[in-house]
Structure 1
Amino acid sequence: MAELERTSEKSKKPKNMSAEIVGTSLFHHILNRRMILSAREEMKSLLHRLIFVGKISPELADKRDLAEYWEEMFQNVQRYYQGEGITGLLLIYPSYVIHILESSCDVLYSVIRDLKDMQKQGNRALILEPRILVVSHDIPTRLFYHWSYKVLNLTARWLGDISSNEPVERIVNDCLALLLKLGKHLQSSPKNSRVVPDSLIDKVPELIVPQDTIKHLLDRNELLTPEKFLQAYDSPLNIVMDSERVWPSPVHIAPV
């Protein structure tokens, strides 16, 4: 009996030691952390930014209807994605718009899908011919404290001399630089206001992207429409797995 008890203790000891050693590993530390924070809560900490441009429908009588439309849409989206804060800026020109949005990936792609569906309405759509300027993933901080809009009354002017041979990447980068500087400037605006005060815009007219530049961007086929952007996003990646590689080769390989 004594030998059986000693044998039983020896068989238990390695198991306890193994569990103790493995339980203190970095892998188990991360695993325990994931048990506390669900995968969805971890994804909520990721922040993304979407910037798109578009043409305002000529049938739109009051341009403030655009702000009301997106405000209502954001309320509906946030009912589905609870806790997903939406910040950004909507600049409404006489004929065009620039919209900057900061939120989760699910919210931003809901906006892009809505833009795609809106084009099916033809001339009744509020925004025509939208183009995606950029989608920035995993940005460190928000540029805006809340979502707001501004109706601009500006004369047409160019952002430098733009020719048809100008690389679209350079034009987009110049516009993004102005928008980021404008967002930094607007951080001094009231946090509870949905409308950007005129005084803040009047101080920095040089930070407003010219309307003619937006028109030029909409004419460039290099910028993706919401439909083409979603096609690329929803299409599966054609990845060749190692298991798909066979030897010998099915075709003759000519010697070098």
Structure 2
Amino acid sequence: MDQPTYLNVIIWINIRVCLPFTFLLITLCCLVRLDRVPVSYYMNLLFSNLTQLIILIAFPPNFPYYLGYFASFIIYACCALASLCFRTMIALERCCSISCPSSSCITQTKGFVIVTVFVWVFCLVFVPLFVLLRQEYSCLIFALLPAPVLLTCLVVALKHLCGNMSVPAEENRRTVGILVILLIHYSVAVFPIVISSFGFQPYSDRFKVPDIYLTLFLLGYFLDLLLFVVMCKGLIEKLLKCLCCCCRTENVERKDDSRSSV
């Protein structure tokens, strides 16, 4: 069955825009030092997104009749679940940085290595196992677990935002911004497609996720790129200052034009 035009457009934009920017941000994360942000988890998130974008290019056109599609689907599902896990780890790290900045173990090198290895092993082992055993609903249940975690992290961060004097106010704002973007990403791109999947029977001819939910899911790559803008120290403030300067310049020019016309 042919895909709708808007879904093909979103896939085309992801391949032409998100793919090169993901390469660029991985390079920047390796070269540029981001102060007190979960850059290690973010790099793993970008790497899993990069793999998904590459698989979008490698999907065979007549996928129900090709063994290559099944392998691509398994890898894509593994990386999609890994991306979700790393977004959850970023939220937990940011929440711990505000609530208990001195006792956060997941930011230490040993804790990061253990968590990263566990996430990748879990996704690469259990996702194919669930698919082969026809237990796809187990993957969907795991995909629902980050919902209360992301919401709780945002509530805890907002609770400690005003009373925490040990963390700079700018970092508090960045942390809240990161948590808001992660929660919006999950609510818009992940939650609808997971809920809609519970209404279909696996391995049936009628199993098909609505195209609008697939479109929202593919738009999630843009929100992951937006995280880099929020993570960079002072970048948002500089952008706001530039915007304010442009607005002031336009207002001055308009006033000058109105005076000259009078």
Q: TM-score range by the shorter chain?
A: under 0.3
TM-score computed with the length of structure 2 as normaliser: 0.26
Tell me the TM-score normalized by structure 1: 0.27
Q: Larger % of helix: which?
A: 2
Return the structure number with greater strand share.
Answer: 1
Structure of larger gyration radius: 1
